[in-house]
Amino acid sequence: MIHGHQQILNRACVTGGAGFIGSHLVGALVAQGVHVRVLDNLSTGREANLRSVRSRIEFVNGSVCDDAALDAGCAGADLVFHLAAYVSAPGSVNEPMACHETNTTGTLRVLDACRRAGVRRIVFASSAAVYGDSEVVPKTEDQPIMPCSVYAQSKAAGEHLLRVWSHCHGLEAVSLRFFNVFGPRQTADSAYAAAIAAFAEGMLRGRRIKIFGDGGQTRDFVPVADVVQCLLCAARWSGPARGDVFNVGLGRSITIRELAAMMASILGVPDNPEFLPPRGGDVRHSLADISSTRSNLGYVPSEGVEPCLRETLAWYQRLIHESGLIQSA
C-alpha cells in the first residue's frame, strides 16, 4: 500500500551523481528545491553531465572508498542515494577485487558514513543482474536470486548490508533493482543497454549493426526518467523501509530484433542487421514484475520505450555532430 504521509526531503547526497542515471536524478532533485551534494570520483561519470545544475549543487570529488570524502559528502544529509559503483558485470570477471572494493566494501563504507552523519534513509541502486540466469519471467522480488558475476554478487551483498544496517542501526533503507536503463548521457562504452548505445553508434555512422543470436531475446528497457521517478518515490515512501527491495522496469519487454527495427525506423536508415552467433552467458528473457513497485511506491511507468528512444537518438546525433566525428551534410 502507498502510505499516507510522505517523508520530507530537504538535503540529499548522491553518490555517483556525475554518472548517467545519477545526473538525471540530480537534475530532478534540484528542480524540486532539494539541496544536493554529489560525491563522485569521475571514473566513469563526467562533470559535463552536471553542467546545467553545477552552480546550484555542491560537488565532492572523491571516492566511496575514502571515509573522509564520505564524511564530507554525507554531512547534514537527510538521505543518501547510493549510485556510485563499478558498473561493468563483464569487467568484474577479470577485475573482481576492483569491483568488490568499490561495490561491496564501498557500500559498507557508505552505510557506516550514514551512521556517523545521522542520515535517516538510504536508497541503493541495485540491479536485475542479481536474478542471474534464472529462466523464470517475469522476475518477482521474492524469487531466489542467483548472481552470476562478482558485479551481481556485489549488488546482492549491498542489498543484504542495507537490511543489516536497518536492523542494527535503525537506518531506513530501500534497494531498487534496475533493469536495462537507457536515455540521454548513457555512453556507448556503458556495460548496460549496450544494445541501444551500440545500435545508435552503428546506425549513425552508416554501418550495419550486429545482433548476437537470432534477435529473439527479450529485455525490459526502462527510460531513465522512470528510474528517477522510482528513486524519488523510494526517497519519500512512508513505508517501513527496512531494506525493502523493488524492481524498476517498464513491466514489458521487447525483442532485440524489434528494438533494432524501431531504431532504424526512427532514424530513417535501412533495417538489415547482421546476425552473429549467440554470446555465452546472455539470458534469453528478462522482464520485471513491477506490481509491488506500483502498489507500494506509487510508481507509474511510461507507456513504452519509443518516446525516450527518440530523445536518446537525438542526443546521440547531437553528440556525434558536436564531437566532429560525423560532419553535417
Site residues for ligand NAD per CB under 6 A? 15-16, 18-22, 39-45, 63-65, 83-85, 87, 102, 106, 125, 127, 178, 180-181, 190, 192-193
Distance between CA atoms of residues 157 and 126, nearest Å: 10
CB of 167 to ligand NAD, least distance (A): 23
Structural element, H or E, at residue 168: helix 150-169
CB of 18 to ligand NAD, least distance (A): 4
Minimum CB separation of residue 187 from ligand NAD in Å reads 7
Cell 572523491 locates to 62
Nearer to ligand NAD, 85 or 267 (CB): 85
Report CA-CA distances (Å) from 183 to 20, 109, 189, 272, 302.
8, 30, 14, 24, 13
Name the phi and psi angles at 259, rounded to 5: -60, -45
CB 24 within 8 A of CB 91: no
With respect to ligand NAD, which residue has the nearer C-beta, 75 or 269?
Answer: 75
Which residue among the candidates 86, 131, 151, 192 is catalytic per the annotation?
151
**Minimum distance, C-beta of residue 328 to ligand NAD, in the bound complex (Å):** 28
Which residue in this structure is represented by grid cell 542501526?
Answer: 169
Distance CA 6, CA 237 (A): 6
Q: Helix, strand, coil proportions of the chain in percent (round to 5)?
A: 45, 20, 40
Task: Give the three-class secondary structure for 146.
Answer: coil
Does 86 qualify as catalytic in the annotation? no
Which has the closest alpha carbon to 190: 22, 12, 325, 326?
Answer: 22
How far from 101 is each of 1, 38, 64, 95, 232, CA to CA, in Å?
37, 20, 9, 10, 27
Q: Which is nearer to ligand NAD, 17 or 273 (CB)?
A: 17
How far apart CA 33 and CA 29 sit, in angstroms, is 6
* Closer of 269 and 283 to ligand NAD (Cβ): 283
| Shortest Å, Cβ 63 to ligand NAD | 4
Least separation in angstroms between CB 206 and ligand NAD: 27
Rounded Cα gap, residues 16 and 108, in angstroms: 15
Cα-atom radius of gyration of the chain, to the nearest Å?
19
Cβ proximity to ligand NAD: between 40 and 172 the closer is 40
Give the residue with the Cβ less far from ligand NAD, 63 or 218: 63
Catalytic residues: 151
